[in-house]
Structure 1
Amino acid sequence: MSPTSDQTTEGREHRVSRAFVALADTLVADFDIADFLAMLTQRCTELLSVDAAGVILRSPHGEFQVVASSGRGAQLLERFAVETGDGPCIDCVHSGQPVICTDLSVGRARWPRFSVAAGKCGFRAVHALPMRYHHQSIGVLTLLNAAAHGVAIDASRLGQSFADVATIGILQQRTIDQGERLSQQLQAALTSRIAIEQAKGVLSQHGGVSMDEAFDRLRGYARAHQLRLTALAGTVADGKADLRAILAHPRG
């Protein structure tokens, strides 16, 4: 018997509630910002009916870095935006306000290079949502969809709530010394991303799998064995991990 609409709604509401709990649960000894932001992008694609999501953070020195993405296409597009300084996500970080383009073919005059790159990556709709606390903007959560007008307003609002909770969660880590702790967390995210990208490349080449599948297996293995994602990635990049065991782990 198929579930009723009320049951379906209840199930989604339960998953949304669990997502908020997970995003708020950052006051733990082994908090891993890389895994935390990867979970944020995953929850967005699962619950907001979008095709992809990505997170860009701004370092204490004002530099932008892609620190999480739900797939290869989103990662390439976000990286292109960072390198060119062009796109709704970059404007969002600078302004601290949401920047929405429901059809990039119409917004091409405003973001010419980004719009072309987005089309090549398979995206036409972008909702860039600020990760901000009061007047401090630390990054942006970007929702991407292949179809024009493909991100519903309600989904965008819920995405903003996810971004707000995630931002508070990150900033809670600096309670002892605000400036120093925030700098450490953001720098850790930037550094860990390098290790993760290296590990994905090693696993992809060794196992003949896509970069996305390599990341799924890396993250799944880390969680199954209660390992920090960044630490496991470092052992893979250094040639000290059991690549066969990681690649044999089922995708999460």
Structure 2
Amino acid sequence: MKTREDRLLHTVAALADSLVADFDVVDLLQLLVDECTALFDAAAAGILLLSPTGELEVIVSTSERSEFVELMQLRVGEGPCVEAVATGRVVSVADLDHVSDRWPAFAGDARRSGFASLHAIPMRLRASTIGSLNLFRDRTGELNHADAVAARTFADIATISILQQRLVEESTIAQEQLQRALNSRVIIEQAKGYLAQSRGLDMDTAFQQIRSHARSTQTRLAEVAAEIVAGRLVL
């Protein structure tokens, strides 16, 4: 049997692997919440992430009841998990009975689900907060310091992994867009040369004719050029 320390190190290593290898974000985050409930004083765990449109969504959860509480927070727009994302700060609730005035809808939903306390950790890197790691507890009291530090470390590594993945995807998209632009430019130059030679035009006039046709037909320049080069369009 692995000791708790062995499992902590194994989890850190598994999360760190995502920094250098291709990975599935949902699988990574599911591993994170599963290990949090196995290692820490938490009955359940879940993660909220900001979508590309800026909406918070439940991404993974270890139980239906924790997912329900997170969804209810999103529905009413209140609760520690929502506040952790909004402020970028850890929000710890030692006793849900003490926040009924502050978050009445959340407190009621959480108590009905059997939870007594909650620890919400923002998934944040510098100025970017992308979500929150939420630890639900069946008894009152603060999450102990060692667990809180370790959970924050897990959240930080996962945050870096997700942001890195987004940068890679954005870079890939940018490279694809650049390559398409270069390919388009090549075919347009070919069409200009073809028109200039076949019609006795200079290159500027040939291009003006291609552009004029593209505008009048609301067709992309590269598509018009490709039709000219293929001999399917005569201007």
Normalised by the length of structure 1, the TM-score is 0.65
Partner of 1:248: none
Partner of 1:139: 131
The question of whether the paired residues in 2 share the 8 Å contact of 1:127 and 1:144 is answered with: yes
Inter-partner Cα distance in structure 1 for 2:54 and 2:168: 23
Percent of aligned pairs with the same amino acid? 36
Inter-partner Cα distance in structure 2 for 1:127 and 1:18: 23
Local SS of the residue matching 1:147: coil
The question of whether the paired residues in 2 share the 8 Å contact of 1:131 and 1:164 is answered with: yes
The residue type paired with residue 21 of structure 2 is: V
Inter-partner Cα distance in structure 1 for 2:169 and 2:7: 34
The residue type paired with residue 160 of structure 1 is: R
After superposition, where does 1:66-215 map in structure 2 within 5 Å? 66-149=58-141, 151-176=143-168, 178=170
Inter-partner Cα distance in structure 1 for 2:41 and 2:96: 18
Counterpart of 2:51 (choices 59, 68, 82) is 59
**Structure with larger Rg:** 2
Aligned residues: 172
Give the Å deviation of 1:25.
Answer: 1.3
Give the Å deviation of 1:160.
Answer: 0.9
The residue type paired with residue 115 of structure 1 is: A
Local SS of the residue matching 2:146: helix
- Spell out, residue by residue over 1:26-71, the C-alpha distance to the aligned partner (whole angstroms, 9 max, x if none): 1333x11111111110010011121000000011221010000011
Instruction: Write out the 4+ residue segments of structure 1 that deviate beyond 6 Å after TM superposition.
Output: none
Inter-partner Cα distance in structure 1 for 2:170 and 2:143: 35
Q: Does 1:23 align with 2:23?
A: no
- The structure whose RCO (Cα within 8 Å, separation 6+) is larger is 1
The question of whether the paired residues in 1 share the 8 Å contact of 2:92 and 2:142 is answered with: no
Structure 2 alignment gaps of length 5 or more = 174-235
Give the Å deviation of 1:174.
Answer: 3.0
Inter-partner Cα distance in structure 2 for 1:167 and 1:91: 18
- The 1:144–1:180 alpha-carbon spacing in structure 2 relative to 1, beyond 3 Å, is farther
Partner of 1:13: 5
Partner of 2:201: none
RMSD: 1.9
Give the Å deviation of 1:123.
Answer: 0.5
Partner of 2:29: 37
The question of whether the paired residues in 2 share the 8 Å contact of 1:50 and 1:150 is answered with: no
Give the Å deviation of 1:165.
Answer: 0.7
Structure 1 alignment gaps of length 5 or more = 1-7, 182-252
- Spell out, residue by residue over 1:182-237, the C-alpha distance to the aligned partner (whole angstroms, 9 max, x if none): xxxxxxxxxxxxxxxxxxxxxxxxxxxxxxxxxxxxxxxxxxxxxxxxxxxxxxxx
The question of whether the paired residues in 2 share the 8 Å contact of 1:81 and 1:114 is answered with: yes
Inter-partner Cα distance in structure 2 for 1:138 and 1:124: 26
Inter-partner Cα distance in structure 2 for 1:124 and 1:144: 8
Partner of 2:40: 48
- Spell out, residue by residue over 1:159-181, the C-alpha distance to the aligned partner (whole angstroms, 9 max, x if none): 11110011011112134465888
